[in-house]
Structures are given as C-alpha cells and as structure tokens.
Amino acid sequence: VSTQSTFFFFFSVFFTCFPMKFKVEFSGGLELLFNKQTSLTVEVECEVGQTTVPIVKLLQHLSKNYLQERPELFTQQDTVRPGILVLINDCDWELMGGKDAQLEDGNTVVFISTLHGG
C-alpha cells in the first residue's frame, strides 16, 4: 500500500461526515406529537471527524423535521421537558451524560412521557 493511498484513506475517513441512523421510539402519549408515529428511523449528519452525534443534535433534528404540534410538550430549551424518560439502548440517558450523551450509529433512542392528565 502506497503512502499516498494510505494518506487519502485517512483523509477521507477523518474529514468525511457520514449520516448516522437511529431508531427512535415514542410512547406515553408523545407519539401524538409526532403524527401518531410510535417509531421512526432517523438519519442525522455527524460533525466532520466525529464518530458520534450528541443527543442534543438528535433532539433538534426531531423537533425541526418530525414534531407536528405542541413543541413545549417535548422540549424545553435544549433538552427534553421534565417528565420525559429517555433511554439509549435501554439505558437511562442520565447514566450516559444526560443531554451531553453521545449517540453511535445504530443506537435506539426511546422517549417515554410520564406526564398524564387525570
């Protein structure tokens, strides 16, 4: 393998941004905010040179492209509204850094609302 081809491979991998796919699920009433969809497959662009995507970027992408109504029931500032559980691959996102958590390609993110009327 030549030095030039090795450099090109490194350069193209390091400076290329690949879209990452995530499975996103909604329950506890949140699906109503997303056109009654309980599950989505979402692609989010990573930053150049990164192999993960911050969950905040996924939240922004969902809010901008999929959220159909009442955004105040899903997000508050740059995070989810209190009362919404977030699981990343069945693990509470608080154990993974909360709003600073990093997602890898193929992760499953579940949003569960614990807010109910009565």
Percent of the chain with pLDDT over 90: 73
The answer, yes or no, to whether residue 14 has pLDDT greater than 70, is no
> Which CA distances in Å does 104 have to 52, 93, 110?
5, 13, 14
Whether the predicted pLDDT of 27 surpasses 90: yes
- Average pLDDT, rounded, for the chain: 88
CA R_g for the chain = 17
Q: What is the pLDDT of residue 75?
A: 94
Query: With pLDDT > 70 as the criterion, what percentage of the chain qualifies?
Result: 83
Amino acid identity, position 66? Y
Fill in the amino acid letter for 75.
T
C-beta neighbour count of 85 within 10 angstroms: 15
Nearest-angstrom CA–CA distance, 13 and 53: 16
**Stretch 70-96: mean pLDDT, rounded?**
95
Q: What is the mean predicted confidence (pLDDT) over 79-97?
A: 96
- Across 12-26, 45-59, 76-90, the highest mean pLDDT is recorded for 76-90
- Whether 47 and 19 have beta carbons less than 8 Å apart is answered as no
Q: Which residue has the higher pLDDT, 10 or 116?
A: 116
Residue of 50 and 3 predicted with greater confidence: 50
